[in-house]
Structure 1
Amino acid sequence: MEAQEYIESGLLELYVYGLLTEKENIEITELAKKNPEVDAEIISIEKAIVALSSSFAPFHSVANFEKIKARLELKHGKVVDMKPASNWSQYVGWAAAVLLLLGLGYQTLELTKTKEAISTVGTEKNKIERDFAFLSQQNKETEKSLNIVRDIKNTGVTLGGQAVSPTSFAKVYWNKETKTTYIDAAGLPKPPKGMVYQVWALKLSPVLTPTSIGLLSDFEGNSNKIFAVDRTNEAEAFGITLEPAGGSLTPTMTQLYTLGKV
């Protein structure tokens, strides 16, 4: 799903309210980190929630005052304005009214601040939960990578850089019993747009025979750069070439980035 589709789908609102699954939360968190448009939309939704919650603060208006005065006249007769006995008592009355209004205003302000604080805490809580879910996923990926490297049953094959990219390197972890194969591609440069790295298991004799064992897809999105490829039944060497998106039937030898013998 593209960024604009996420924005129009309503998923981001459910994401901010914490109503998505853990998998969906992780997916949108990772998308927001990569896509400024999605991240800005999430921030906009969070700000809208804060503004909405603060808009319900109580207030007093002239209309409310007139309604109260009319209610008093119905119950007790016309409200008569009394002339104060002295200017001193007039000042006392006005002072008391001002103090009352200030007190109501202060209470209203504090209530508004409290509501804003509650809304802010809710927004921060959602952000913390998203970050926690993302870090948990990253931790799982790191543990998986460490287990692959530490597994003594895996044969490590170092692939050195070739003419097209002498500084490139990679490593293959191949379990000859289970046939599982992992590629550590941290030493490969980011592939150009429309291109992908393809991994080959090679038989060297009697003739060179390459067998494709997979593509290193989503190269930029894989932070650890460790990829699981197809099961490898037999190999005397491994090589990685740069191919058009979707891969090739045979390796493009002029684009051979790394090669190494078992």
Structure 2
Amino acid sequence: MEAQEYIESGILELYVYGLLTETENLEIAELAKKNPEVDQEIISIEKAIVALSSSFSPFHSVANFEKIKARLELKHGKVVEMKPASRWSEYAGWAAAVLLLLGVGYQTLQLNETKEAISTIGNEKTKIERDYAFLGQKTAEVEKSLNIVRDIKNTGVTLGGQAVSPKSFAKVYWNKETRTTYIDAAGLPKPPKGMVYQVWALKLSPVLTPTSIGLLSNFEGNEQKIFAVDQTVSAEAFGITLEPAGGSLTPTMEQLYTLGKV
């Protein structure tokens, strides 16, 4: 038999798979030693099998798979009858096992991709929920600020900038019935490190009498710059000074940023 007939018959594939008898194996081995073309074909088949078994993904091994499948089905040449016909059931079983292995591998790949997709969707859903909650919180803060400004029961007192900071301004919203007091500090600059703004309710006569009604703490964290301070029992004016962290017992007049009469 010519070398090309061995190559086209599919016998070399069976040799590589170890499905031939010992006599047949010796015959093919001797032929490979003498014929470089047969030897090279055996090496090619072995590489194809390694490539096929190294990946479950059909997208990676389809070329090798079709090559082996074609040879197992003896599409490219005539049959060399070296084995009884009954042994072909064994070969068919082996081929079915390869196909099953590929099928399981493909399904495993698909399952992993599905899990990754579900995980990605879950992460995106969590991010959307977090963003939605954040926006809801911001909306509530804005609505609260608008309600304070629009409340007709609140007396609005504008505080103008003083010598230390002429461009500063603020506004007090004071409900004289409930005594609740809010400060709109959007017109104040960021306080220096270690300093804090302190709000004072002032009685002007017969002598100037300041009463602290709170600190504008967490200035950077309050985006709306609307601060609730202590209740104001009475006031003829309001002032805001810059004080050391923790506040002062009396206002530092040299650091009076804003002042306004009721």
Task: State whether TM-score is above 0.5.
Answer: yes
Structure 2 CA distance for partners of 1:84 and 1:122, relative to 1, 3 Å: farther
Aligned to 2:233: 233
Distance in 1 between residues matched to 2:242 and 2:174, nearest whole Å: 21
Paired residue total: 182
Distance in 2 between residues matched to 1:158 and 1:185, nearest whole Å: 11
Distance in 2 between residues matched to 1:258 and 1:108, nearest whole Å: 70
| Cα shift at 1:157 | 0.7
Query: For 1:26-59, what per-residue CA distance to the aligned partner results, in whole angstroms no more than 9, with x for missing partners?
Result: xxxxxxxxxxxxxxxxxxxxxxxxxxxxxxxxx9
| Cα shift at 1:167 | 1.4
Q: Residue 261 of structure 1 aligns to which amino acid in structure 2?
A: K
| Cα shift at 1:130 | 1.9
Normalization by structure 2: what TM-score? 0.63
1:199–1:214 contact (8 Å) kept in structure 2:
yes
Structure 2 CA distance for partners of 1:83 and 1:164, relative to 1, 3 Å: farther
Distance in 2 between residues matched to 1:126 and 1:84, nearest whole Å: 64
Distance in 2 between residues matched to 1:117 and 1:209, nearest whole Å: 68
Counterpart check, 1:158 vs 2:158: yes
| Cα shift at 1:128 | 2.0
Aligned to 1:196: 196
Q: Residue 121 of structure 1 aligns to which amino acid in structure 2?
A: I
Distance in 2 between residues matched to 1:84 and 1:147, nearest whole Å: 95
The correspondence of residues 1-262 of structure 1 with structure 2, limited to 5 A, is: 99-262=99-262
> After the TM superposition, which of the residue ranges 110-119 and 98-107 deviates more from structure 2?
98-107
Distance in 2 between residues matched to 1:90 and 1:258, nearest whole Å: 97
Distance in 2 between residues matched to 1:91 and 1:189, nearest whole Å: 86
1:170–1:187 contact (8 Å) kept in structure 2:
yes
Distance in 1 between residues matched to 2:167 and 2:91, nearest whole Å: 88
> After the TM superposition, which of the residue ranges 89-98 and 165-174 deviates more from structure 2?
89-98
Unaligned runs of 5+ in 2: 1-54, 57-81
Query: For 1:195-216, what per-residue CA distance to the aligned partner results, in whole angstroms no more than 9, with x for missing partners?
Result: 1110001111111111100001
1:210–1:251 contact (8 Å) kept in structure 2:
yes
Question: Root-mean-square deviation (CA), in Å?
Answer: 2.8
Distance in 2 between residues matched to 1:249 and 1:197, nearest whole Å: 13
Distance in 2 between residues matched to 1:252 and 1:124, nearest whole Å: 52
> After the TM superposition, which of the residue ranges 129-138 and 168-177 deviates more from structure 2?
129-138
Unaligned runs of 5+ in 1: 1-58, 61-81
Distance in 1 between residues matched to 2:164 and 2:89, nearest whole Å: 97
Q: SS at the partner of 2:120?
A: helix
Percent of counterpart pairs with the same letter?
86
Q: SS at the partner of 1:127?
A: helix
Structure 2 CA distance for partners of 1:84 and 1:226, relative to 1, 3 Å: farther
Distance in 1 between residues matched to 2:95 and 2:157, nearest whole Å: 88
Distance in 2 between residues matched to 1:84 and 1:149, nearest whole Å: 99
| Cα shift at 1:91 | 9.6
Query: For 1:71-107, what per-residue CA distance to the aligned partner results, in whole angstroms no more than 9, with x for missing partners?
Result: xxxxxxxxxxx9586xx99998887665544333221
Structure 2 CA distance for partners of 1:83 and 1:118, relative to 1, 3 Å: farther
1:84–1:90 contact (8 Å) kept in structure 2:
no
